[in-house]
Chains A and B, each alone.
Chain A
Amino acid sequence: MNSKPDSDHWLVRASTIRGFWIGGIAVLVLTVVAQLFIPIKGYFVVDGWLGFAAIFGFVSCVLMVIVAKIMGKLLKREEHYYDD
């Protein structure tokens, strides 16, 4: 996508995508920093720690993708498997 010429839609230009990454990371940092000013009321202690939700969300997703990968190895078949 990065190799698309500038004549393509502005959304997919390399400069825009770089901007999205920078802006996105800034927002991510901001959500964690915000916790310093807006304390999260944890229900079970740990969920009130600084950046807990960020790490929890990220790690959960990585784990789910890993599990999906492993299950995919076992259960994926080519798409016409049932057709014959």
Chain B
Amino acid sequence: MIDVFLPPAFILIFAAILIGLLRGHLRTAVIFLAPVLALWAVWQVPDGVVTSMGFLGYTIEPVEGSPVRRLFATIFLIMAFVGSLFAYRQARTVEMMAAFVYAAGAIGTAFAGDLITLFVFWELMAIFSTVIVWCGGTEAARKAGIRYAILHLIGGVILKIGIVGVVIQTGSVDVQPMLANSFATWMILIGLLINAAAPPFSAWLSDAYPEATPTGAVFLSAFTTKTAVLALILLYPGEPILIGVGLFMVFYGIIYALLENNARRILSYSIVNQVGFMVVAIGIGSELAINGAAAHAVAHIIYKGLLFMAAGVVVYRTGLHKCTDLGGLFRTMPLTCICGIIGALAISSFPLTSGFTTKALISQAAVADGLVVIYFLLAAASAGVFLHAGIKFPWFVFFQKDSGLRPKDAPWNMGLAMVIFASFCIILGVFPQLLYQLLPYPLEYQAYTPSKVVFYLQLLLFSGLAFFLLLPAMKRTLTITLDTDWLWRVLFVRMGNGVYALIESTGDALGNQAKSRLNAIQQRARRLWGNQGVFARSWLIGSTAIWIAVLLSGYVLIYYL
């Protein structure tokens, strides 16, 4: 093995630069070869620390291999490849470049052996995902991008505070399992959970992702939250608080998605919901649970990418986002419709799809630890997923009513990307061993038993019945739903305006006399320190030289006296 192993992430960063410089077929070649080359590099990374170097007195380990790190890096690169296929003919160059650096950040984080490297790649993701949000090009995208950036930078600062604290306490920057039992470890946990879209900061996700371009949202759906899941697996396996946080996310995602009208925002809420399942599993922390979290993350990246692709094609062809404007698109978009349905079945963990073979591991982990309540809550949530994403999304977009829209189906590259991911959903559902053998711990698990299949068919199909019986109650309205971001988008703004008004009125109350005195002080200050003030104006070089000469001679004179 070579001594200095180049982090696979650098291949994508280098590719991003080339994408900006090249045009035509060369650019296309870079877009498709770079993820393949990086994937090869990922599978050359052996277990354990590969590279280490000194940095400011700390030992930095930019590349550390382990099965779970390689698994996440692999799925990130598959996503980068298929996402690029989906995007490369439609997306702007700057968006493709940002997507590659963003993916590089995810892969760099996946292999980070120390907290400093992790932090650097973490921030790289924050910056370039913001660029992707901004590529949406609208005023709404610009504003959502600023809010997104502020929240992620705050999250980064919190993470950084925690890292510094842990380094001071333990003297080690290693990425290793810990528990939230001190201020510093709490800060790291909060920093990670902000990126996982956990409460109370989950609003950034559904705020920003729907504003990206049809292609940009596909990249966004994959990396930030799942990198956070991997970081939680590496740093906080078995942290009990995560079970509660995850369960909250699961039901938050369902309820908000049920209330939502924007098709891609429904999918955004369901990211929070699905990541919630993974967070619960990490909180349980057994080998089976960690396997479940990792497997579900892989399956989730694929079917959620697929769903965002299907929704993206609809937005690309119609320019419409809202369920109330859409409907009946199955007539002219059969491919997008079928791929969307496969993605929807997979997210609902229908038998024969990837969701079934991966989410079952998490439920099984709850059973194995005797967590009765959690097991039933997860089962209820599985029913809810079918309700809010499994049927609601395809129903309102592709069926529902005839909106009169007759858009063309997906362009060939977008269609091919969807077919690839739809096939993956089914292949991993039919041959789960393909994924099971890559999981961090050895797994003996029978995904399909007649008993399990009947149980889940009953659960899901009767949820479907509930959907159609309750359809009148789920009529879409032209509304948004307030979330915690109301606090900083409305309440804090009002408070700020209030403070400003208070200062103004205090000034008025001081009366004219006080005001004129204040003005006098101000004028005096301006005379002394203003542009032409004695202390601030610029001097001619000649007079400066004379003054220096005078002062120096005075100094010499005094020295000799």
| A residues lining the B interface (CB < 8 Å) | 1, 4, 8-9, 11-12, 24, 27-28, 31-32, 34-35, 38-41, 43-44, 47, 51-58, 60-62, 64-65, 67-69, 71-72, 75-79, 81-82
* Contact for B375 among A43, A68, A81, CB less than 8 A: A43
Question: B481 at interface (Cβ–Cβ under 8 A)?
Answer: yes
Question: B138 at interface (Cβ–Cβ under 8 A)?
Answer: no
Contact A44 B457 (CB under 8 A): no
Q: For residue A11, which residues in chain B have a CB less than 8 angstroms away from its CB?
A: 330
- Taken together as a complex, chains A and B put the C-alpha atoms of A71 and B180 apart, in Å, by 32
Contact A82 B372 (CB under 8 A): no
Instruction: List CB contacts (< 8 Å) of B416-462 with chain A.
Output: 449-451, 454-462
Q: For residue B461, which residues in chain A have a CB less than 8 angstroms away from its CB?
A: 27-28, 31, 54, 57
B131 to chain A: closest CB distance in Å? Answer: 23
Contact B467 A61 (CB under 8 A): yes
Contact B383 A79 (CB under 8 A): no
Number of CB contacts from chain A to chain B under 8 A: 143
Contact status of A68 and B259, CB under 8 A, knowing A39-B451, A61-B467: yes
- Taken together as a complex, chains A and B put the C-alpha atoms of A39 and B330 apart, in Å, by 38
Q: For residue B451, which residues in chain A have a CB less than 8 angstroms away from its CB?
A: 38-41
Q: For residue B372, which residues in chain A have a CB less than 8 angstroms away from its CB?
A: 44
Counting chain A CB atoms within 10 Å of each CB, which of B251, B402, B458 scores highest? B458
Contact B330 A56 (CB under 8 A): no
Counting chain B CB atoms within 10 Å of each CB, which of A39, A40, A61, A65 scores highest? A61
Contact A32 B458 (CB under 8 A): yes
28 A/B residue pairs, CB under 8 Å, sorted by A: A12-B402, A28-B461, A32-B458, A41-B451, A47-B376, A53-B455, A54-B458, A54-B461, A56-B376, A57-B458, A57-B462, A57-B463, A57-B466, A58-B383, A60-B384, A61-B384, A64-B258, A65-B470, A65-B474, A68-B259, A71-B255, A71-B259, A72-B479, A76-B259, A77-B479, A78-B480, A79-B479, A82-B489
Chain A's closest residue to B258 (CB) is A68
Chain A's closest residue to B143 (CB) is A82
Q: For residue A53, which residues in chain B have a CB less than 8 angstroms away from its CB?
A: 379, 454-456, 458-459, 462
Question: B331 at interface (Cβ–Cβ under 8 A)?
Answer: yes
Chain B's closest residue to A63 (CB) is B380
- Taken together as a complex, chains A and B put the C-alpha atoms of A77 and B380 apart, in Å, by 28
Contact status of A62 and B259, CB under 8 A, knowing A8-B402, A38-B454: no
Q: For residue A34, which residues in chain B have a CB less than 8 angstroms away from its CB?
A: 454, 457
Chain A's closest residue to B450 (CB) is A38
Chain A's closest residue to B255 (CB) is A68
Contact status of A77 and B480, CB under 8 A, knowing A64-B258, A65-B258: yes
* Contact for B480 among A9, A52, A61, A81, CB less than 8 A: A81
Known: A60-B383, A72-B481. 9 other contacts (CB 8 A): A9-B331, A24-B464, A31-B457, A31-B461, A47-B455, A58-B465, A60-B379, A77-B480, A79-B478
- Taken together as a complex, chains A and B put the C-alpha atoms of A20 and B525 apart, in Å, by 83
Question: B477 at interface (Cβ–Cβ under 8 A)?
Answer: yes
Chain B's closest residue to A35 (CB) is B454
Q: For residue B459, which residues in chain A have a CB less than 8 angstroms away from its CB?
A: 53-54, 56-57
- Taken together as a complex, chains A and B put the C-alpha atoms of A81 and B489 apart, in Å, by 11
B284 to chain A: closest CB distance in Å? Answer: 15
Contact A31 B454 (CB under 8 A): yes
Question: B254 at interface (Cβ–Cβ under 8 A)?
Answer: yes
- Taken together as a complex, chains A and B put the C-alpha atoms of A28 and B454 apart, in Å, by 11
A76 to chain B: closest CB distance in Å? Answer: 4
Contact A75 B482 (CB under 8 A): yes
Question: B401 at interface (Cβ–Cβ under 8 A)?
Answer: yes
Instruction: List CB contacts (< 8 Å) of B383-398 with chain A.
Output: 383-384, 387
- Taken together as a complex, chains A and B put the C-alpha atoms of A32 and B483 apart, in Å, by 39
Q: For residue B456, which residues in chain A have a CB less than 8 angstroms away from its CB?
A: 53
Question: B261 at interface (Cβ–Cβ under 8 A)?
Answer: yes
Q: For residue A76, which residues in chain B have a CB less than 8 angstroms away from its CB?
A: 259, 477, 479-482
